[in-house]
């Protein structure tokens, strides 16, 4: 296809520019060349050097400022004249610089517009390309989702299995469908592995379905098992400490009772000695006081049977007591089990 030529005529040192454009339907490349039609080497002739020599000669007169002593008003006028001369020199330099730069600035502005034209067209095309790509990706994602829906698989959402690489041009549907099938099959196999871990299936599966990482899930199960063992060991050790502490407290309480009994016996003997009799009269026998006592044990079944046998051998009646946190809980239990009994408040210490 023949090239079309666009000729742009402007002002300034570059009087004309030629750009060869190839139609877009023929090729995405543009054949563009900026040609310099006429160029002159920059040159400007001024009396700036004469002005410099004159300024230096004039300024020599002001090196000795002692001559202005006593003539301050004259000195101020001279200073004002020098300032005005400097200001005028700056204005002249600016005027010449502006005239010199004007053609170049016009050229730069023109080329900036050229670039803006191409850039604007490119941005417009970019919007259209992105919209087309988005629609293509949306259509492909929908096709993949429809295939996923046919699998009737709801253990994890579609988004968790989706691979952005599937949207690439070279990724075709048959390969995508195969990869999706393999992912679903892998999940079923991994869950089957986790099912072999007795006691931790639910926790292991829940963690796996969040990450789809079998190694991480197995590591999580190992951590859960280790923590469970630590908790169980701590519970046993704590209960043993509490048992020993309770036994020690019971021993102290029993020792206090023995001391009290011995103290009362000693007082009784001292009273007999004070009365001058060999032995104090025995107190009148009376029926012993009966106490309703509740004790809470944590013992094995065989020890519990031995304890009940011992109580029976001593003729000590006993009742089993069920403990509840509230009266309402106790009443509900009695109604459900059909038990006739009484509800008491209890303090465990």
pLDDT of residue 160: 94
The confidence score (pLDDT) of residue 10 equals 37
Residue 126 in any domain: the answer is: yes
Residues 122, 196: one domain? no
The pLDDT of residue 150 = 95
**Residue where a domain terminates, one of 147, 178, 203:** 147
Q: Is 282 exposed, middle or buried (0-12, 13-18, 19+ CB in 10 A)?
A: exposed
> Is the Cα torsion angle 150, 154, 156, 160 positive or negative in sign?
positive
pLDDT band at 277 (very low <50, low <70, confident <90, very high): low
Q: Is 34 in the same domain as 84?
A: no
Over 80: is that where the pLDDT of 286 sits? no
Tens of pLDDT, residue by residue over 81-102, are 889 988 988 988 888 888 888 8
Least confident piece of the model among 19-23, 108-112, 251-255: 19-23
What range defines the domain where residue 304 resides? 290-349
Q: Is 267 helix (H, G, I), strand (E, B) or coil?
A: helix
Residues 111, 131: one domain? Answer: yes
Q: What digits encode the pLDDT tens for the residues 292-320?
A: 777 777 778 788 788 877 877 777 777 77
Is the residue at 324 inside a domain?
yes
Predicted pLDDT of residue 41: 59
For the range 172-177, what are the long-range contacts, defined as Cβ-Cβ under 8 Å and sequence gap of 24 or more?
A: 173/143, 173/144, 173/147, 176/144, 177/147
| Domain co-membership, 201 together with 170 | yes
103 & 139 share domain = yes
In a domain, 282, yes or no: no
Q: Beta-carbon neighbour count of residue 221 at 10 Å?
A: 20
pLDDT higher than 80, residue 175: yes
Joined tokens for residue 184: 């679903």
CA distance 213 to 198: 19
Please check whether residue 26 lies inside any domain of the structure: yes
What's the confidence (pLDDT) of residue 2?
Answer: 39
Residue 303 is assigned to a structural domain of this protein: yes
Do 137 and 182 fall within a single domain? no
Residue 229 lies in a domain: no
Render pLDDT for 35-52 as a digit per residue (tens, 0 to 9): 666 666 567 788 888 888
Question: 8: helix, coil or strand?
Answer: strand
Do 131 and 165 belong together in one domain? no
More confident residue, 264 or 279: 264
Query: Of residues 287 and 89, which shows the higher confidence score?
Result: 89
CB-based burial, 10-42: b 16+ in 10 Å, e otherwise = eeeebeebebeebeeeeeeeeeeeeeeeeeeee
pLDDT over threshold 80, residue 174:
yes
Average pLDDT, the chain: 80
What does the block give as tokens for 128? 């259209």
- Is residue 116 over pLDDT 50? yes
**Nearest to 190, CA basis, from 164, 147, 182:** 182
Instruction: Please give the Cα distance from 204 to 224 (Å, whole number).
Output: 9
| pLDDT tier at 162, thresholds 50, 70, 90 | very high
* 13 plus 66 within the same structural domain: no
pLDDT at 7 over 60: no
- Indicate whether 70 and 108 sit together in one domain: yes
> What is the count of structural domains for the chain?
4
Angle at alpha carbon of residue 176, lines to 171 and 182, rounded to 5°: 140
- 249: in domain: no
Q: Which residue among 92, 120, 147 closes a domain? A: 147
pLDDT value at residue 208 = 92
| 241: three-class secondary structure by DSSP | helix
Q: Are residues 118 and 165 both part of a single domain? A: no
Compute and round to an integer the Cα radius of gyration of the chain.
54
Q: Which residue among 93, 118, 147 closes a domain?
A: 147
The pLDDT, as a whole number, for residue 6 is 34
Same domain, 103 and 32: no
Give the mean model confidence (pLDDT) for residues 269-281: 65
Q: What is the pLDDT of residue 35?
A: 66
Q: How many residues does the chain have?
A: 349
Q: What is the dihedral of CA 213, 218, 223, 225, to 10 degrees?
A: 150
**79 & 142 share domain:** yes
For the whole model, what pTM was predicted?
Answer: 0.47
Residue 107: inside a domain, yes or no?
Answer: yes
């Amino acid at each position: 296809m023949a090239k079309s030529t666009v000729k742009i005529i402007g002002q300034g040192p570059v009087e004309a520019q030629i750009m060869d454009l190839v139609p877009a339907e023929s090729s995405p490349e543009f054949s563009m060349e900026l040609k310099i039609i006429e160029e002159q080497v920059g040159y400007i002739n001024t009396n700036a050097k004469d002005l410099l020599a004159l300024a230096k000669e004039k300024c020599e007169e002001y090196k000795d400022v002692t001559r202005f002593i006593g003539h301050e008003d004259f000195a101020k006028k001279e200073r004002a004249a020098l300032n005005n001369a400097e200001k005028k020199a700056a204005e002249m330099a600016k005027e010449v610089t502006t005239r010199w730069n004007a053609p170049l600035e016009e050229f730069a502005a023109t080329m900036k517009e050229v670039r803006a034209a191409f850039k604007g067209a490119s941005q417009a095309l970019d919007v259209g390309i992105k919209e087309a790509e988005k629609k293509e990706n949306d259509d492909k994602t929908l096709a993949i989702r429809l295939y996923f829906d046919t699998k009737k698989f709801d253990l994890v959402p579609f988004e968790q299995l989706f691979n952005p690489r599937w949207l690439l041009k070279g990724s075709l549907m048959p390969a995508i469908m195969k990869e999706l099938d393999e992912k679903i099959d892998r999940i079923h196999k991994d869950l089957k592995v986790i099912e072999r871990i007795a006691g931790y299936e639910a926790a292991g599966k829940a963690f796996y379905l969040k990450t789809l990482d079998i190694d991480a899930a197995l590591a999580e199960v190992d951590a859960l098992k280790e923590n469970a063992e630590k908790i169980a060991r701590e519970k046993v050790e704590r209960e043993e400490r509490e048992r020993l502490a309770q036994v020690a407290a019971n021993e102290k309480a029993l020792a206090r009772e023995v001391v009290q009994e011995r103290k009362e016996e000693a007082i009784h003997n001292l009273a007999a000695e004070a009365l001058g009799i060999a032995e104090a009269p025995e107190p009148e026998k009376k029926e012993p006081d009966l106490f309703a006592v509740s004790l809470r044990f944590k013992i094995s079944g065989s020890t519990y049977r031995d304890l009940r046998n011992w109580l029976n051998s001593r003729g000590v009646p006993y009742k089993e007591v069920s403990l509840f946190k509230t009266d309402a809980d106790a009443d509900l239990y009695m109604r459900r089990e059909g038990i006739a009994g009484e509800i008491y408040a209890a303090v465990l210490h």
